[in-house]
Every structure is written in structure tokens, then in C-alpha cells.
Chain A
Amino acid sequence: MRSKIAQRILDETPKEVRIFVRKYGDIVVRINQLIREKGYTQKQLAYEMKKTPSEISKWLSGNHNFTLRSIAKLEAILGESILQASVPLLKPEVFILSLQSGESQNFMVVRGQRPFSGKTKIYQAQSETSFSISELVEQYN
């Protein structure tokens, strides 16, 4: 059960607003996670980014609009990816990894992009899902 008022307002909320808020949340969580993992203090981060500690404080408390440029700078300093953007293929490639034992109708498949061949590239896969053969044919033919 959800409050009727909340549901009504949610129904009126433009789809792009919900996408934006979720993506913004992802960025905030990821940055905070990386800062914790790397053990950075605000002062250290400010030094690395050539900004004042108060500017960094504004960033981390949300008084700053992240731009692609500022995110790239953070990625460079923290040495990890914050945004995971991928280029969709016009027609996804399907890579059959293995047959699941006892279920002859099911393949384990990975959708990926070129270059994606051979076992060394396996971790470039974007998702891993089980499909039945009929679903597979319908989706990719």
C-alpha cells in the first residue's frame, strides 16, 4: 500500500526527473564509497583537486552541480570509475558461454560489444542472463 497522494504525485513526475534523481544518487553513493575506500580526508582531496577545503565540503554536501568535467577530475584522482557509460550496439552480439547442465533448452549468454572475443575479454560483458532458445531467437533475430 502506498499513500494515494504519493502515488498521484509520482504518476505526474516526468520520467526524466526520476532517471536524473536516480543517476545523481548513484554518483553521490559511488563518490562517497570511493572516498571512504581510499581513506581520503576533505583536506587531502582539496589539495589534490587544487581547491579549497570549503569548496570540497560544498561538493560533498551537495551544494555543487556535478559536471562531466568535475566527475572526470574526481575519477582521475581517485583512480576509479564513477560513471559507467556504455555505447549500445545497433544489434547486440550474443556470446554463448556455456550450456547449463541438465537444462538443454537454456544457454548462459553474455551480451557484449566488439571487441569481445576469447576468454580474456570476458569481463567486458555488460550483463549475464539466462534465456530460453526461443526467447533468444526472438530477441536477437
Chain B
Amino acid sequence: MSSFELEIWDDETEKVTFYTVRWENSDISETDKFFEKSIRIDPSSTHELLSLVIDTIGTDYGAIDDFFNRQENTVTALPPHGRVTVHELKIHFPQFPLRLYALRINKRKDMVILFNGGIKSGQTNEQSPDLNLKFHEANAFAKKIEMALQEKLIVIDEASRTLKYFNGSDEIIL
């Protein structure tokens, strides 16, 4: 897996600091790629999903279970728990087409990493080619991030509700 940077996507909401990932050779984060793409395809669903992220989760409730669907993927190479949990942001509207993948840092309600996502075009996520690819990609990101947390390559700064590199830097490249 190529290197990527873990960077703040939104730290202006009251309850959550949102991070995203950006490939080192890219100018734009994966979450921004997702929103740029989805706003062209389905503006109204994109508005709703963004409002869920920023208003409902970021401002009103924090990253509580009610808004995260469990999408578990077993990763045997990740001791000691042996698994990483990537979530799908859950918007409670029938037939909502967009899926955005996320990782709650240490299951906290105040720190979330957003990845990319896609449109559920098939009956299941697996039958939606674009989405399936992004799900596996999100898992690869999540696995590397969780490993870095376990090895204390990145640490949580409670005071500022941010992640820091082990040397105290805000620039986190994994």
C-alpha cells in the first residue's frame, strides 16, 4: 500500500474532529473525492449525507452507534484484537443510495476518520462494483491506522482532540 497522509477534514464542529486520508501523490483527500463525485451524480442525497456528518454527528450527537452501520472485516494480521471495524455512515432514509466509510478512533464518539465511498447500485454492497472497491480500500486504510495507534506511532492528544505523530508533529504520514 502506498503512503498516505492523515489530515483534518473538519475540526469546526462541537462534538467531533473529523479526519480524512489523502494519498501522498494526490492533491485532494479521499473524502473530498467522494463528495465531489457524489454532488455531481446525486446532489440532494449528497446534501443530506453532508448534513448528517456535520450537523447531526458533528454538532448534535457525536459519533454514536445510531449513525454507524457495522461493516466488519476480519484482519488476521492485526494483533491483539485481530480485527478492524470500518463503519458505514447510516442515514435512516429508505433506499438512500450513498455510502461513506468511516473509522471511529478507539470507538470514541469524538474522533472519526472518513474515507471514500460510493453509490449502492446493486442489491448488496458486494454487487456494487465501485462501492466494494472503496470498502476494501477503507479497510486497508483502517488496518494501517489501527496498527499505527497500537504501536503508538500516532497518539491521541486529548487536550486538542487531535491525532499527533509520535514526535508531536501534526503531519501524519503512514
**Chain A residues close to B by CB (< 8 Å):** 1-3, 5-6, 9-10, 12-14, 17-18, 20-22, 24-26, 28-29, 32, 61-65
Contacts and interface: CB of A to CB of B under 8 A. Distances in A.
A40 B141 CA distance: 37
B99 to A, nearest CB: 13
Contact of B46 (A9, A28, A61): A9
B56 A62 contact: no
B64 A6 contact: no
Contacts of B56: 21-22, 25
A62 B28 CA distance: 32
Contacts of A5: 28, 32, 35-36
Interface stretch (B9-17, B78-86, B125-133, B143-151): B9-17
B51 A22 contact: yes
Interface stretch (B87-95, B104-112, B115-123): B87-95
B174 interface: no
A1 B12 contact: yes
Given A22-B56, A25-B60, A3 B92 contact: no
A63 B12 contact: no
What size tier do the contact residues of chain B reach? 35 or more
Interface string B47-89: 1101110111000110010110000000000000000000000
A32 B66 contact: yes
Contact of B90 (A1, A6, A17, A62): A62
A3 B46 CA distance: 15
The B contact surface, by secondary structure, is helix
A121 to B, nearest CB: 29
Interface in B3-21: 8-12, 20
Interface of B: 8-12, 20, 28-29, 31-32, 35-36, 39, 43-44, 46-48, 50-52, 54-56, 60-61, 64, 66-67, 90-96
A22 B60 contact: yes
A18 B51 CA distance: 6
Nearest to B11: A1
A68 B91 CA distance: 19
Given A9-B35, A13-B50, A24-B92, 16 more contacts: A3-B29, A3-B32, A5-B35, A5-B36, A10-B50, A18-B47, A18-B51, A21-B48, A21-B51, A22-B51, A24-B93, A25-B52, A32-B66, A62-B90, A63-B94, A64-B94
A21 B54 CA distance: 11
